[in-house]
Amino acid sequence: MGNSFQPHVGDWYQNIGGDNFEIVAHDADEATIEIQYFDGAIEEIDADSWHEMDLQPIEAPEDWSGSLDIEREDYGVDLELTAPNDRINPLDEVE
C-alpha cells in the first residue's frame, strides 16, 4: 500500500504491526531515515523502504518512559513522569 508522508524529525507514526515510533534523524543526502521505537530500539531505513511502509500518523505518547525500559510500578505510585522538556525546580518542594 505505501505512504506519501514526508519524514520529519519528531513526527510519530504507528506501523501496520501496531508499533509506535518517532523519526529521530533524516539524512536527505544519503536517503536514510532513523526511527526509534517506543521501546527504545533504533532502526535505520532507506527512503524507498519508508515509502513502502503502511503508516498512520499519531500523537507523541503521554508516557514517554517506554525507551527507559522501566515499568510504572518501578518508579512508585506518587511519582509522575513529566515530559523530557518540562522544567522541574527542586526548590519548589522545600518548605
Strand partners, 42: 36
> Candidates 2.30.30, 3.40.50, 2.60.120, 3.20.20; correct CATH number of 12-58+67-93?
2.30.30
- Whether residue 82 is predicted with pLDDT greater than 60 in this model: the reply is no
Domain boundaries in the chain?
12-58+67-93
Q: What's the confidence (pLDDT) of residue 94?
A: 73
Question: Is the pTM here over 0.75, yes or no?
Answer: no
21-68 pLDDT, tens digit per residue, is 999 999 999 999 999 998 889 999 999 999 999 999 999 887 655 555
47 or 71, higher pLDDT? 47
Secondary structure string (H, E, C) spanning the chain: CCCCCCCCCCCEEEECCCCEEEEEEEECCCCEEEEEECCCCEEEEEHHHHHHCCEEEECCCCCHHHHHCCCHHHHCCCCCCCCCCCCCCHHHHCC
- Cα 45 → chain centroid: 16
What count of other Cβ atoms lies within 10 Å of the Cβ of residue 90?
6
Using alpha carbons, list the distances in angstroms from residue 2 to 10, 17, 46, 54, 75. Answer: 20, 14, 14, 5, 40
Integer Cα distance of 35 and 17 in angstroms: 15
